[in-house]
Structure 1
Amino acid sequence: MSSDVRFTDFKSDKQPTWCPGCGDFGTMNGMMKALAETGNSPDDTFVVAGIGCSGKIGTYMHAYALHGVHGRALPVGTGVKLANPDLEVMVAGGDGDGYSIGAGHFVHAVRRNVDMTYVVMDNRIYGLTKGQASPTSREDFETSTTPDGPQQPPVNPLALAFASGASFIAQSFSSDALRHQEIVQKAIEHDGFGFVNVFSPCVTFNDVDTYDYFRDSLVDLQDEGHDPTDRDAAKQKILEADKEYMGVLWQDETASSYEDTHDVDTNMSEIPDGAPEDGMDLVREFY
């Protein structure tokens, strides 16, 4: 891995088309800075994204990238990492992409504990499709399709990850640049599945979960002296419904990544000498 990479090396020449003020700008900048700080370079980084505003991130970052289908970014990221363990794989998604249509994939990606990082830009609304309630929207959040609110409690993604056996659970805020970078960096450095839910405000369609709201309500676990290796303390924080936390809530330092458990260390993207011709022989024999 390169040691002299700057975060600007991860910027592509494509200009983001997110709304001015969108929280995704800060989320992406923190991801790029974290990648550079951990010694990664665009040549050894693969970014996978699904559908939604967050899905454009692979276009705006200079790295290997794939813009997948709705809710299916995690299986692609898993396949990329297991095919080439030498790559730093980052999967990006939104609260709709990850906790609705992609919820099943989220649960299984968490329990497999493949060594990659999953960053979810949680704006508590569907932004790309013009402001419908998402799985993390408040129960009384009024939208054009839910004029009386969703009338059901929001998904707690941290609790979902914890119940699925996550080895790393964190939460950050896109506007707090330094802390966001630090938290994503810890997720990258974690040996296993690093999950970070990022509060990334939608300035166009969500006038409730705003920058001011998160600045006033967020509690930084670093200031509270929280021990992320204490399972009981992590569980208590994750299940507290009346507080919004920022920081690493849970990290199981004893858990083994999927790669370590199953001795996955072969780069399958490297084709041995003679393999293509051997492969063609098999094709001819088959037909």
Structure 2
Amino acid sequence: MFASAVRRLTVIYTLIQLVLFGAVAVGIYWFVTWTFDLDVATQDGPAAANPVELGFSHLRTALIAGFCALCVIVPFTSYWMARAALAPLRRSVERQQRFIDDASHELRSPLTVIRGELELALLRKRTADQYRQSISSTLDATQVLVDLTEDLLLLAQEAPAELRSRFVAVPIDTVIRDAIRSTEHSVRRQSLTVRSAPGVTVHGIPALLVRAISNVLENAIKFTPDEGTITVTVTANAHTTVVAITDTGRGMTPDEVEHATERFWRSQDVRSSTGHGLGLSVVERIMHTHGGSIRITSAPGAGSTFDLLFPAPPER
């Protein structure tokens, strides 16, 4: 589809440019011949007129040669312009196609669970406990669908500038407190410590900031063993606010760190664990929207540190 569109746009650009260049060449020749008084040169004799005619001939030759050269060069520049013009549209379509592929792949599992539980419930009479267990499994699968849909929709957003218009100053302590509250159900026996300087604020959308920090906390809780430690540290200077989340979990290899924020990527060692591999992708997207970034430092057996780097709030 894009190849044919590029070809059509190349032809259109080429024709437009050649028509314009041809019109300019004709205009130059007409202006030069019109402004030059050939009658005066003729009155001075044939010897004076011949150099003038020769000059006009050289001008015609130069303009024709230049136009022929443009006929060779312009198609290549038009092709480059066509590709550049269609590049944003192509990225948008590819993003939408990736969204559809990812969604269809990940939605299949929870939908299969829901369908299976409902079919079993209708297959034969069951006890109240069995119905309760079936409904519980269906609700769990439904929650997976809700979380997955929210993550995919967030990743599919194309206009972070529109979100930035809703930014407000938010105390980072409040964001961390809300993020911890949202992950309390996941904590087993790990120790969770917060070290934050008072009065630190960031500029953003509170719900998205909570989502970013809670996703990192969920990741740390998932891979930190019982009796392990998770520490949230906030530091700030004139230019950057850093929320560092450090755990004493299994750690990651350099290759795992490199792929950690890719959509649906999961390490071979943890494919059996819960989750759909979008948590850190969502974090990276949120940080990008807020003009920040995520930095991961990790080593096998030595735990991991996830640094969320926020730019300092703009001065009022």
Q: Give the alignment's TM-score, normalised by structure 1.
A: 0.27
Return the index of the structure with the highest Cα Rg: 2
